[in-house]
Amino acid sequence: MFPLHRGRRLRTSESIRSLVRETSLSPADFMFPMFIAEGENYQVEISSMPGIFRRSIDLTVEEVKEIFALGIRAVNIYVKVSENLKDNEGNEAWNPNGLMQNAIRAIKAACPEMIVMPDVALDPYSIYGHDGIIANGDVENDSTNTALVKMAVSHAQAGADFVAPSDMMDGRVLRLREGLDAAGFHNVGIMSYSAKYASAFYGPFRDALDSAPVDATEIPKDKKTYQMDYANRIEAIKEALWDVEEGADMVMVKPGIAYLDIVREVKNAVNVPVTVYHVSGEYAMIKAAAERGWLDHDKIMMEQLMCIKRAGASLISTYFAKEAAILLNKVK
């Protein structure tokens, strides 16, 4: 009689395992973060992120077409801004003919069905490398929100489907919703970086955009006054709930694989889709270990993505999006 329950019966073959599998992945689960630079026919690989490039708009458009053909339906775009265009207020961020705005227009013209979610934060435009306006030795919350609204409206005017505020200013989702609605963009959504932690996993990303805080005594040396303390869990739920109350259409947890407990907590707490950012450091670690033969690249990549989805992600922003989509399409 013993044992009556044998879990192994449901693991006997791949056919049975696939029949009862609780979680699945498809290319439509992925959003591809893309880095855009000035110029034409220009691309340079980011040394700390093998296989990821800063590209000019024309080459970015070609890449967008490729990933759309693979089944990926969303891109999260970031720009590498020239030093001479940076200031403390981020004025270039809402230039109607700026790099971001031109990139949005080009992508939507070439691939209208691709969902474009531009980053909304001032760090690429800041002489200090911070996500907002520096005043009295810190990032000033409310004046930064005013700047972010102008930035988001300019993205909507260029054709963005969603805006993606990554700044972690208090109250910015409400201000963005009010600003977008006042400008007539009621259908432009907000994907809020709600639980964005002050993480060391962002290092390669800052290499990509040259957006790390500068070393100066009169400003904060890091982003811990606005990004979250990674020791905290309840705070993440609170931030996500606030953003939903203020009008967020999606909320994000960032980083990903090291924060799956937070993903599940947020998923259980909110009634909107949860996005998870599988960040640059998580990507770089797999690439580095695989290059040394310490890990099986594709197996680890797919395991991590599946675990993020299992934890509650509706959408995964990942630098592995293209590679994973190619593998998934082969399996069909």
pTM: 0.94
pLDDT of residue 190: 98
Domain presence at residue 8: no
3-state secondary structure of 31: strand
Domain presence at residue 80: yes
pLDDT, the chain, mean: 95
Helices (H) and strands (E) in the chain, counts: 11, 12
Q: How many domains does the chain have?
A: 1
**Choosing from 196, 223, 309, 322, which is the catalytic residue?**
196
Percent of the chain topping pLDDT 70: 97
Domain presence at residue 68: yes
Q: Is the pLDDT of residue 154 over 70?
A: yes
Q: What is the mean pLDDT of residues 28-48?
A: 96
Domain presence at residue 225: yes
pLDDT of residue 205: 81
Domain presence at residue 32: yes
Domain presence at residue 266: yes
**Choosing from 254, 267, 287, 309, which is the catalytic residue?**
254
Domain presence at residue 54: yes
Active site (annotated) includes residue 254: yes
Between CA 74 and CA 279 the distance in angstroms is 16
CB 116 within 8 A of CB 100: no
Q: pLDDT tens across 187-226, in order?
A: 999 999 999 999 999 988 877 766 667 767 778 888 999 9
Check the annotation: does 239 bind a ligand. Answer: yes
Domain presence at residue 6: no
Q: Which residues form the domain of 181? A: 23-331
Q: Is the pLDDT of residue 269 over 80?
A: yes
Q: pLDDT tens across 271-289, in order?
A: 999 999 999 999 999 999 9
CATH number at residue 89: 3.20.20.70
Residues 6+ apart with CB under 8 A from 122: 90, 93, 130, 131, 132, 133, 144, 147, 148, 151, 167
